[in-house]
Amino acid sequence: MVVLIKEETAMKKIKQLLAAALAATLAVFCALPAFAAGDDDLVMSNCDSTAYWSANSQGADALESDAVNKTEGSGSVGATAAGGKLNQIAYIPDQPVDVSKYSFLEFDVYFSDLTWFSDCGSVMIELTSSGTCDKESNRYMKKTIRSFLENGVVEGKENWWHFVLELDNPQGTANGQLNKSNFNYFRFYTVDPITTTPDYTMRFDNMRFTNNPENYTPMEEEEEDSATASEAAKPVQITREDPNAAVVKNLHTVVLIEGIALGVIGLVALVLAGWLIIGKIRKAKGESGHE
């Protein structure tokens, strides 16, 4: 009777140990992929849906979703600018986002045609913390946009460019600067085109706040001139094979493999220990039965 009680107690303890080991292993599986995702990116919008987006061209709703023309995920968002006039395409999240730990907003943008760049009298990207335009506003205009049209071609993606905006160094501000702890408004517009400006289609994708942007070189100080992006373009292709990113990815893979291995080893050790304990109890029970 005493031997049976001891066996039941031992089995109960073994089950508890195995459950604890399993929980620890699952925690490793759950935690490591999150770590592998990195701490240097905060997604503003993956652009897979039109949630929180709106667009207007010539007074009409112009928002479009595109499942084919994209750089990542399942889609991109954008608009078609009739006559080159895009009143705005805007992203307004339902809650303010704290981006104070980030230095850049980077994203991919597609333009079917660049005639609008020279034809439009006003072109701007704007980020604010006021929930609307022209207040607590960081502004990035033709000079900034030209630099990325010249130097940010995305490899293998025709008419896609990669933009990197410095949050702490905008080209201009309006009624205060962006409060990074309260980001809640993004927009892009091209207005005041000449009468012959053709329609163009644009798309956004892969929008994220970062600290280590892809292949970024700070823009040199120079005076704004009248050269168009298409005339001045000296395409420098942006590749997605970032050596630093590859090193970090490999490191995360090693950590993941080591974590899984330790979890499996722990489980095996506990199972073996359990069988040894059960064997000893059964042996003791057998010897007791012979007496």
pLDDT at residue 103 is higher than 60: yes
CA distances from 87 to 76, 93, 175, 272 (A): 19, 19, 21, 70
Whole domain around residue 163: which residue ranges? 41-238
The mean pLDDT value for 227-248 works out to: 41
13 and 150 fall within a common domain: no
- Banded pLDDT at 198 (limits 50, 70, 90): very high
More confident call, 95 vs 243: 95
Token pair of 171, please? 């080209």
170 and 187 fall within a common domain: yes
pLDDT at residue 250 is higher than 50: no
107 and 153 fall within a common domain: yes
In the chain, the number of structural domains is 2
180 and 129 fall within a common domain: yes
The CATH number of the domain holding residue 47 is: 2.60.120.260
> Taking the model in full, what pTM does it have?
0.66
175 and 279 fall within a common domain: no
CA distance 245 to 252: 10
94 and 156 fall within a common domain: yes
Token pair of 158, please? 């025709």
Length of the chain: 291
16 SS3 class: helix
